[in-house]
Every structure is written in C-alpha cells, then in structure tokens.
Chains A and B, each alone.
Chain A
Amino acid sequence: MTRLLELQVVTKHFGGLYALGGLDLHVDEGEIVSVIGPNGAGKSTMFNVITGLYEPDEGDVRFRDSSVVGLRPNQITRLGIARTFQTVHLFPNMTILENAMVGQHCRTKTGVFGAVVHTPRARREEAQIREKAREALDFFGSRLAGYRQDQPAFALSYANRRRLEMARAMATEPTILLLDEPTAGMNPRETLELRDLIVRMRDERGLTVLLIEHDMRVVKGVSDRVVALDYGRKIAEGSYEEVANNEQVIEAYLGTKAVG
C-alpha cells in the first residue's frame, strides 16, 4: 500500500499560539481517514499547511515521498491534492458548471494563442474540461444536474453549495481529497447521503480521502482509520471504536470528571 501523504513533526505557530505542535500523520492510498478533535485542535490549520496556504515552521509534508513544503497552493493541487473549505468558498457569480470547470484548469494547458484562434487542441481541451466537469457534478446526482448547471452559484441552497465545492475539488482529478467538515450545517438526511457519497468517492472514483469531521455517525460509517488531535498534536489513532473509547480523547472533548 503506497504511503501517499505524510506529515512529519509538523509545527506551526502564530505569534505565541501553537496551532500545530509536532504533528505526525499519514494517509495510505485507498484509505479514508477521519481527523477528529475539539475546536481549536488545529485541524483546519493542518489542511492549510498541507495545501500550501501556510508554511510549517518545523517539520515536513511529503506527498508520494517528496516534500511539498514551500510549493504554492496551485502547484500542490496540480500534484494531486485537492480540498474543500470549512466555510464554503465558491465563486458566487460564476455558474455551477463554470465553478466545476475551474477545477479542470490545472489539467489543461491552452494558452493565449489557442484561446484566441481556437486551435483543434484548444477545442478538444475545452470539450474535455466540460466533460470532466459534468462527470464531477454528476456524482452528486440530480442536485447539480440539468438546467441548474447554468445558474450562478450564489443561487444554490447551502447543502448544494457544499456539494458543488466537493464537485469542484473532484474536477481537479486529485489523487487525494481533503474534505473540511463536509457535513457541517446539513440536516440528518443530507448527512447520511453524503456519508455514502464519501465511500463511493473511494470505491467508484478511486480517490483517497482525508476528512475533518465532527459528526460521529459519518466518522463511524466511512473511516478506515481515525486520528484524534488536540492542541495540535495527535493523541490517538486507530479504528473508530479504539479512538472513541480512548480516555485521552474523551477527556479532550468532555474534560475530566470534577474531583468529587
């Protein structure tokens, strides 16, 4: 099993605040790994470090066994790491289809000449972009299909916006997909639907998934492995049951019992 993504002793601080303090984490190909932890544990910061928005102060992030530290986010995406955001960041005035098509940007090369003159290669690429974008949107069924694809993204409902963000990330044809709290704000029915979709992402589309989640039903239902963070460090790792029953994890979430 190839080790796709590895974080080695990653440390990141902002002024005096240590968001990540010596984090070790790995994801192997084909896995679905969930990262849990109380708020402020550094989960989103970890994503930002992996995808190049921040540079770690210490430690290394390796993808396919070569370091990606210091690369710009667009280079990292091109390597095959795609992500969604904790608060949805779509391109609100672009249509749904266009949002998805943006994802295909890093897989195409048409330059000014091709764009202006419409060379056969440019036309082929444009068709490919459309097709791949549609493929990504179709993964979410009728929600993002049909007439809707020409609607501006700001017209979407909240749940559909989250789905679109995932479709856009999938359109970049990633090897590993980072999902930041994908079910936040969804109702129970939508949450369960998404849980199944995540598993299908791996089974049908061959994606490896690293996700941050708070909803334990989802974590339980999709994860091959669960990693628990607190104060920027890993405090537990294993199957869902192992981690859920780990004393340190329970303490991190609930605090210790009051001394009676």
Chain B
Amino acid sequence: MSFRLKVLLVVLFSVGLSIVLVAWQISASARNSFDRLDAERTAALVAQFQKEMQRQDTEIEKQLSQIAAAEAVLKVGLENSHGQPDFSPYANTAQELAAAHSLDLLQVISADGTIISSAQWPARFGYKDAAIIGNPLPSAGFLKQEELPEGRALALVRVHPLQVREKPLFLVAGQILDEDFLRALVLPAGTRVWIYRPQGKDSSSGDLIAATALPDPGKISAFAQRMQLAYLGHQSARQFEIVHWTNDPADDETISSVPLTGRNGSLEAILLIGATHRARVEMSRNIRNAAFLIGGIVMLVGLVLAALIARRVTRPVEDLALAADRVASGDWHTAVRVEGTDEIARLAQAFNHMTHELLAQRERLVQTERVAAWRELARRLAHELKNPLFPLQITVENLLRARQHSPQEFEEVFRESTTTLLAEISNLKAIIGRFSDFSKMPTPQLAEVQVNDIVKDVGQLFAAHFTRSEGQPVEARYQLSTDLPVIAADSVLLRRAIENLVLNALDAMPHGGTLTFRSATEGDHILLEITDSGAGLTAEECERLFTPYYTTKQFGTGLGLAIVQSVVSDHNGRIWVTSQKGKGSTFHVELPTHAKAVAASDTMPARTS
C-alpha cells in the first residue's frame, strides 16, 4: 500500500469517524429528548386519566344526588323503615334508575347490607354486600372490581348514604371503566392506553381492557402480570418495558405501568401507557440518512482534498522512493529535487549526498580493483609463462652448448631440443588460448533445456574417467528430480559449466570417492548440486574459489570455476559452495525456471555471489 494511499485512507477514516461521532451524538441527544418526551406524555396521560376519573366521580355524585331524591328511592326508603320490609316490588328499581341516569352500576342497599335492588346484577337482590357500606364510608369515589353476571369488571364506585324516616339506606353507583372509557380519553399523539385488571388479589392472571384491538395482547398482559407481582411485593421489576410488536423497530412501543389502587390501597388495576417508537425511529432514520448523505458528500470532498494534500505531502517522498529504486537498480547518478527546508527537503539533500558519495566510492573501488586485476593478471601471466620459458631457455642453451662442444651430437640434440621447444611452445599457446577463451565468453543462446539430460550426458562423457585404471574409481550417483521443469538456457554453456564442475570434483578426489548429482525444484528455480567426497575446502578457500586465476591446484589456471560462475550469472542464476574440511564439497547451482526471467536478465548485468 502506497504512502499516498495510506495518507488518503487516514484522512477519509478521520472524516468518516467524525461524521459517525456527530451522528451518534445527535442520535443520542434525540433519543434522550424522546425519552423525556415519553415521560412527559406518560405523566400527561396519567394526569388526564385522573382528571377523567375525577370528572366521572363528580358526575356519579351528581346522579346519585338526583337518584336519592327520586320517588322510587323514597318508596324504597319508606319500605325500609317498616318493621318487616318487603323489598320484592323494588327489585327492578335500580335498573330503571340506572338506565334513567346513565349509570353502569347502581345498587340500593339496606342498612344490614342486603341488596334491595341491583342494576348491574338484578338477580342478586336479597343477597348481602355489607363490605361496600362498611365504616368508614369513603367520601369520594374509589376503584372497585365489581362482580357482574358475566364476570368481574373494573368500576369507579361511589357510596351515597341517605336517611328515610331515620332509617339508613345506601345507594352505590358507579361507572365501568371499559373500552368506552378508554376511548373517551384524549390521548397525546403516539400514545395508547390499556387497563389491566387482575383477576384476584393473589392471582397472577388478569384481563386486558383495550380500546383498540391488539395483534398480540399477550405481550402486554405478560408485562402487566410482572408488574402485578411487583406491586404485590412478590418480585422486583422495572416500571416500563419495550414491546416489539413486529420486526420493524418503528412498531416498538414503550409500555409504562401505573398502579391503580382501590378503597383500602388494594391493587385494583394497572394503567398501562404505550408510547410508540415510530417518531423516534423515524427521526433516527432521518439522522442516519442525513449522516450518510452528508458523510458521502464530505467523504467525496475529503477524498479530493486528501488526494491533493497527500500528493503535496507524499510527492517528495515518492520522488525519494523512486530515486532509491533507481539507485538500487544501478543508476547511481540519480538525484532528487530539493524543495523547501523541511524534513523531507533535508532527507532529499542527504539522499543526493549519499548517491554522490556512493559514486565516488565506486569509482575508487573500480580503480582499485582494476589495478589489482592487472597485477593479478601480470602475476598469473608471469607465473604461467615463466614455467614454459625455463625449459625453452634450457633447451636453447643445450643447443648452443651442443653446437659448441659436440657438433657430432648436435643433430641428435637439435632433434630432441626442437621437439621440446615445440612442446613448450604448444604449452604456451594452450595457456594463451585459455586466457583468450575466458576473455571471450559468448552471450547465452537460450533454448528449452532439460538440465537432468545435460547432467546425464556429462556423466556419460566422464564415465571413463570415473572408472580410470590408475588410482581408485569414482562412483557417480544420480539423485535427479523426475519432475524437473524445462528451463530456458544455453545448453552448450551449461554443459561446459557442469563439465568444469565435474573436472573440479575429479581433481578433488585423486584417490577416488563418490560424486553425487542432485537436482530439485525450489519455487521458481531449479537447484543442481554436485557433491564430491574429496578433501574439502576451508572457509577462506570457499570465499575466494570463484575469483579468476585463483586455484588450489598445482597446475590449475584458476579460470575453471570463474567460467562456471560467468555462465551461471549469464543465466541469471547463482552459484555457491558449501564444504567441510575432510568431508568433501558441494557446488550449488540455482537457475531460474522462467524464460522471461532469463530473457530479462539478458539486459541486466550478471549477478555474482
């Protein structure tokens, strides 16, 4: 990943993160606002519920006052004042009065709690309901679970005592808090309300009074039941719960609970207030969408700005990197432009200074090496030429001596001397030829080559040498990979290199031994190893082994391994030796398998190892 891309990404990430943080902060603020709004709406609804209850209570009281003055009640009161009252004619009185005064509940009860007439349950006449008129009589309406023929119902009830001829009589009236009551409530937008009515004091079940149909009332009831247990002290629970109606979060609803108590503080019902999440979810979605839109625009602008900034910031660094690449590839004349005085400019100055110093040092090194090479060449030439020259000198001196001292033997000496002279001259020509060959290494002509085949051919060529009559034989072993790929190489040069390695190995094993050929594939290279079991080399010898004209042999020219290294380098390969004194040496030749690599390398200087 480029530096510019990194800078670009850092800028974009910073911008994106900033947008996310801002959006999150806005969402959190909106959420808090909605929570406060929900709490306010819940409080307003509870207040309205209580106000409606108060209004109902006032209306009940008003109706009760009118009923108390009705003639029918007066008749009941008069009957009540008798010693043995007969209330049977008045069994329907409460029904008629309740209908006339729009009351859901109305009971006329005597002082001993006997129900004289009941509007809500006419069949209960004659039964006792003394608890409702027990002391102290409540001064206001209260919630009560009223028993009806079809079950219990939650009602707001008020007791109205009256006296007829000094005999007490009680009117108990009320309104049922049912779906119609809930529908009458003016709800704040986005809120709903239910009433949960427990079935019994200790029962964990109950009925849900809902103004509108619910898809799954069990969810509300389950929460209400937990609240019921909590209010009864059986367990602790939160006062609200979020109900998920569907998979859409907008349909979620926060349900808050408010206990509704009765005459003696008993839990008569639970007011459940639902506040929809739709507004807040839609707000969140709007914030998110706005964040995406703004973020997208800002990211786009940021991308352009970041690209410009990155370009300005990274261009000197990129120039430096490119210059470094050029230096690495051999172009030591590379220099970068220095702009400004900042750290990057100082770095550019240092880079230019470094390349300048490198060039100077290389020039000095080349000159030094050139002088050393000439000296070595002169030394080798002197050494190589001196050996044949000495016999030539002796032979010529013998000829002169024979001509002067024994002319009769001159002919014989002459023939012998000319033979010697021709041999030594031939030797000189061979020496000069080898030097000439080294100086004239040809450019490799690449073709598809199977290295194993060349190894086997060379082995075949030297088979006679392996089983030589003098000394101990050399055992040739082949550990060649069967799936060695074909490579692009010059088979002639490669054969010559391998021959030189084999000759070198044979020279290292004058007393016989084992010569092992090993080939293998390693990644995109093939590896050829030729191991002898000779005397081995020292570490210093290993380092200098491929230096031209360096030899460890008495009659070597020091050019054999230099030629091998030249061939391997020309194939963009590398060669190295590993050895352990007394245990033999191994020459490792690594050649690329891809023709391209080789072809490409044709234009590049050969590497040495």
A binds B: no
Residues of B within 8 A of A (CB): none
Residues of A within 8 A of B (CB): none
